[in-house]
Amino acid sequence: MGTILELRDVKRYFGIRSGGWVGGGVEKPLKAVDGASFSIASGSSFGVAGESGSGKSTMGKLILRLDRPTGGAIEFEGRDIGKLDAQGDAWYRTRVQAVFQDASGSLDPRMRISAIVAEPLEIHARTGPNRLTKIEIREKVEDMLAQVALPERVMHDFPHELSGGQKQRVAIARAMILEPTMLVLDEPVSALDVSIRAQVLNLLSDFQDRYGLTYLMISHDLATLGHVSSQLAVMYLGRIVEIGDTEEIYERPLHPYTKALFRAMPLPDPDRVKSAPSLRGEIGSALDLPKGCRFCPRCDEAMPVCSAVDPELVDVGAGRQVACHLIGGPQLTKATHQRGSNE
């Protein structure tokens, strides 16, 4: 399996003016994504976890080319997507598609379901050598709706006539109609009820098996990510703090933030004893980053060095990288922390 997507030191800073009147003030950089590097293997599922404000959705937008990075490069199938011309842009949009959390917000309320699902084809396949006729488009739409298990009669419905789960199926059908190679899924099941959530996750897993799709799933829900993804990146204030094999991270989280996320995750197990509170305080501001490690103000295991030096992501073996002074870094490794004192 080759690499389908690679991020190299991707940054997205927003200039935020503060203080002063209109046009005045000092511009400060808001570091939404601050140096993200990883690669995704073709046909695999990559999960991105983090709280609101961690920069995970901004990263999704950068990958979708809905926003441009201010630094670094994103390569898809060997091409730098920052340097695509109009033709390249059209190509990219047929290869990479998106499904977002709120299906009601991403479906035009005045379009019928058949038109919504057909629109990508209308844009990309009405011209050029592979042009499709109206009848062919219709057949494809019918076939796709069948694949996402929607009854044929919904074709003529408007989005408001469908339930939340059905709307998300329509969004998936629209994303899949161009036969992309990769889907960016930003909280695709967070708004759905438990019983519907399982249906949609199973549907996504069927598509992956059938077409060898690559998924990038962004979510705050570690249980869902743990089910879907084989690789996982945990983000905090614009930085990836831990990245590696999902199962291994679940088994032995190394970064104190990852550990805290697992402790905070509610599990339907009445016998689980909750020890210490998962985390004090709240996620900081990306405008006013703490000196040193960004997680330091909330970290129980912080050392003096943590508030002075920003830790780099270091390789800890088995394909795992962690950005924490407790694990490698300037201080010597404390063996006790390697054993994962979680649970």
Q: Interface residues with other proteins (CB under 8 A)?
A: 51-52, 163-166, 193-199, 201-202, 205, 220, 222-224, 226-228, 230, 246-247, 250-251, 260-272, 274, 277-280, 282-283
Contact assessment for residue 172 and residue 185, using Cβ atoms and an 8 Å cutoff: no
Q: Supply the minimum distance, in Å, between the C-beta of residue 126 and other proteins.
A: 35
CA distance to 55, 78, 180, 183, per residue, from 212 (Å): 28, 18, 10, 11
Q: How far is the CB of 277 from other proteins (least distance, A)?
A: 6
Q: Which is nearer to other proteins, 140 or 294 (CB)?
A: 294
* Nearer to other proteins among residue 278 and residue 307 (C-beta): 278
The nearer residue to other proteins, 68 or 211, going by C-beta atoms, is 211
Q: Minimum CB separation from other proteins for residue 90, in Å? A: 35
The distance of closest approach from Cβ of residue 233 to other proteins in the complex, given in angstroms and rounded to an integer, is 16
Nearer to other proteins, 33 or 279 (CB): 279
Residue 211 CB: number of other CB atoms within 10 A?
A: 13
Judge whether 58 and 144 are in contact, CB under 8 Å. Answer: no
Say if CB 325 and CB 293 are below 8 A apart.
yes
- Cβ proximity to other proteins: between 7 and 192 the closer is 192
Phi, psi of 184 (to 5 degrees): -100, 120
The least CB distance from residue 195 to other proteins, in Å, is 4
Q: What does each C-alpha distance from 171 to 35, 252, 315 come to in angstroms?
A: 31, 35, 38
- Could you tell me which of 327, 324, 328 has the C-alpha nearest to residue 337? 327
Using alpha carbons, select from 203, 339, 188 the residue that is nearest to residue 259: 339
Provide the minimum distance between the beta carbon of 273 and other proteins in the complex, in angstroms, as a whole number: 10
CA 252 to each of CA 258, 288, 341: distance values in angstroms, whole numbers, following the listed order: 10, 31, 9
Residue 169 CB, nearest approach to other proteins (Å): 11
Please give the helix or strand (H or E) that residue 66 lies within, else none: none
CB of 47 or CB of 72, closer to other proteins: 47
Whichever of 85 and 271 has its CB closer to other proteins, that residue is: 271
